[in-house]
């Protein structure tokens, strides 16, 4: 069983700025991948997440050097998320459902978030280590144990949260 534990973060102003930049890179990458996917699909091609990721990485250093300022997961995960979105869209069409086609993400209306793979962060006592940033304080420790499969940092209102996914999660019981 996979469980997620959502914990509020207490970042400094510098860390908040990093989170905004990482979420911006994730949004930009999603929009770039969606535009390229649509272009290739309309031209009769068969775009895949891995092909698009490889294409993006070839032009990234020259065209978008600012994307290297944050963790690599911020620009890698949107390709996989887009592939999942298109898979759900095409499966819905096959089943006769009117599911929505993936859309572009707006700077103003989209939720700020980015993903961290399980090998890209570390959990400590009341803190999480984020690549190219360092330790960020968490409001509490994890409530269950198990293999960490990933984390997503999101902003809700003025607060930042990390949602840590664990496989085979079991509650941590405190002995009193």
User: What pLDDT digit, counting tens, does each position of 14-64 carry?
Assistant: 999 999 999 999 999 999 999 999 999 999 999 999 999 999 999 999 999
Which structure tokens are listed for 63? 């065209």
> Quick one: residue 150, left, alpha or beta (phi over 0 = left, psi -120 to 50 = alpha)?
left
Contact 101, 144 (CB under 8 A): no
Identify the three-state secondary structure at position 15: helix
| pLDDT over 70, % of the chain | 95
pLDDT for the residue 145? 78
Q: How many CB atoms lie within 10 A of CB 150?
A: 20
Identify the three-state secondary structure at position 114: strand
Which whole number is the average pLDDT over 106-121?
Answer: 92
Residues forming a β-bridge with 116: 151
User: What pLDDT digit, counting tens, does each position of 43-54 carry?
Assistant: 999 999 999 999
Write down the residue that tokens 């949107």 correspond to: 78
Confidence grade of residue 171 (pLDDT, cut at 50, 70, 90): low
Identify the three-state secondary structure at position 150: strand
Cα-based distances in Å from 94 to 80, 86, 89, 90, 143: 21, 12, 9, 6, 40
pLDDT for the residue 170? 62
Which structure tokens are listed for 65? 């050097």
pLDDT for the residue 169? 53
Question: Which one, of 139, 162, 138, lies nearest residue 152 by Cα?
Answer: 162
Over 90: is that where the pLDDT of 125 sits?
Answer: no
| pLDDT over 90, % of the chain | 72
Confidence grade of residue 77 (pLDDT, cut at 50, 70, 90): very high
Confidence grade of residue 128 (pLDDT, cut at 50, 70, 90): very high
pLDDT for the residue 91? 87
pLDDT for the residue 79? 97
């Amino acid at each position: 069983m996979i469980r997620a534990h959502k914990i509020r973060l207490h970042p400094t102003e510098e860390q908040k700025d990093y989170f905004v930049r990482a979420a911006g890179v994730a949004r930009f990458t999603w929009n770039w991948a969606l535009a390229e996917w649509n272009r290739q699909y309309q031209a009769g091609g068969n775009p895949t997440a891995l092909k698009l990721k490889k294409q993006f990485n070839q032009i990234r250093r020259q065209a978008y050097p600012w994307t290297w300022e944050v963790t690599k997961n911020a620009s890698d995960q949107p390709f996989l998320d887009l592939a999942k979105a298109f898979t759900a869209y095409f499966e819905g069409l096959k089943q006769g459902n009117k599911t929505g086609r993936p859309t572009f993400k707006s700077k103003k209306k989209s939720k700020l978030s980015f993903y961290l793979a399980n090998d890209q962060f570390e959990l400590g006592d009341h803190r999480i280590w984020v690549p190219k940033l360092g330790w960020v304080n968490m409001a509490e420790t994890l409530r269950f144990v198990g293999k960490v499969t990933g984390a997503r940092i999101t902003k809700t209102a003025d607060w930042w949260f990390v949602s840590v996914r664990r496989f085979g999660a079991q509650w941590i019981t405190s002995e009193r």
